[in-house]
Amino acid sequence: MKAVYILAAWIFSVCCVFSQSQYFSIPEKNCSDAFGILPSWVSNPLNLKNVDKITFIGLISPSRYFVKEMNSVGTGVILPMPLGIKSSLNIAYLGSKKFYYSQANFNFQRDVFEKFNFALSFGGNFFTIPSFGYKFHPNIDAFIEYFPYEFLSTSFKYKNLFGLNPLENNISGFGCLFKFENFCALGFDCNIAFSHYTSYSFNLELLPYENLCLNFVVSTLPQTLNLSLGYKFDGFSFSLHFIYHNYLGLSQTIGFTNEF
């Protein structure tokens, strides 16, 4: 019954914020987060492995490249399920008087044989221009992570399986992450958008104090620099994310989660 009340409160919160894409300033990594503090599961459901309780997610980008029509709001809920499956539902919205763009994703994750981490994302994009009607495009993403050693993980992802969504690129991604004890993690990602471009990312994650996380990500295409700061305590986490684009300028996101 408690889960029913929490889900009802979450649905109410969706109705309240559903007037502002999941394209926030949170860096997208191919491997799961090393310390489980930053809300990276918004873009990578492999991170659901770090969550064992019902969790509410809130995200807001109050200033996205200083274009008010690009400001966005998102919300989500994570629900552990039987058989070791973790699930989440995320919704984000971006809009103005001239257009509306929303996105919804159902994500599922499960560990297998203690060495593999699998995740699937089923989503849909709704794009509306009042004078032309609306378009709906489904989307499927697949993720797999392998832990050959305790300090090393490798990953593979394929976004927009079967090319169902013409608004998204078909992206194949590879990643690796080295974790040094419990204070530092170093990662590398390669993302290939077929027939378009190849992008490389380098990320450094530091844990200078318990439950305080710093994350730096540099990407080659587009040329961006990300800085994230997260803190977690008593089932609640708060994070700040900044991204600097070499042409568009600065964007930021505020995120929080609450476990029940």
Q: Beta 184-193 vs 197-209: how paired, if at all?
A: antiparallel
Angle at 72 between CA 31 and CA 41, to 5 degrees: 20
Q: Is the pLDDT of residue 20 over 90?
A: no
How many other C-beta atoms lie within 10 A of the C-beta of residue 115? 12
- 195-219: pLDDT as tens digits: 778 999 999 999 998 899 999 999 9
Q: Is the pLDDT of residue 83 over 60?
A: yes
pLDDT band for 94, please (50, 70, 90 cuts): confident
| Cα–Cα distance for residue pair 5/11, rounded to 1 Å | 10
Task: State the amino acid at position 229 in one-letter form.
Answer: L
Q: Is residue 118 within 8 Å of 148, Cβ to Cβ?
A: no
18, 77, 114, 165 from 126: Cα distances, Å: 13, 20, 37, 11
Eight-class DSSP state of 176: E
Question: Pseudo-torsion of CA 4, 5, 9, 11, nearest 10°?
Answer: 20
Helix, strand, coil shares of the chain, percent, nearest 5, are: 15, 60, 30
How many other C-beta atoms lie within 10 A of the C-beta of residue 209? 10
**Distant-in-sequence, close-in-space partners of 54: CB < 8 Å, separation ≥ 6:** 3, 6, 77, 78, 79, 80, 259, 260
Specify the pLDDT at position 108.
96
Structural domain boundaries in the chain? 2-259
DSSP-derived 3-state class of residue 166: coil
What values do phi and psi take at 54, rounded to 5?
A: -60, 130
CATH homologous superfamily of 2-259 equals monomeric porin ompg (2.40.160.40)
Specify the pLDDT at position 186.
95
**Distant-in-sequence, close-in-space partners of 99: CB < 8 Å, separation ≥ 6:** 127, 128, 129, 130
Q: Per-residue DSSP letters for 215-255?
A: EEEEETTTTEEEEEEEEEETTEEEEEEEEEETTTEEEEEEE
How large a percentage of the chain has pLDDT more than 70? 88
DSSP-derived 3-state class of residue 77: strand
Q: 């109050």: which residue's tokens?
A: 62
Tokens, residue 235: 């089932």
Q: Is the pLDDT of residue 55 over 80?
A: yes
**pTM of the prediction?**
0.84
| Cα–Cα distance for residue pair 41/43, rounded to 1 Å | 5
Q: Is the pLDDT of residue 9 over 80?
A: no
- The top-scoring range by mean pLDDT among 66-75, 143-152, 163-172 is 143-152
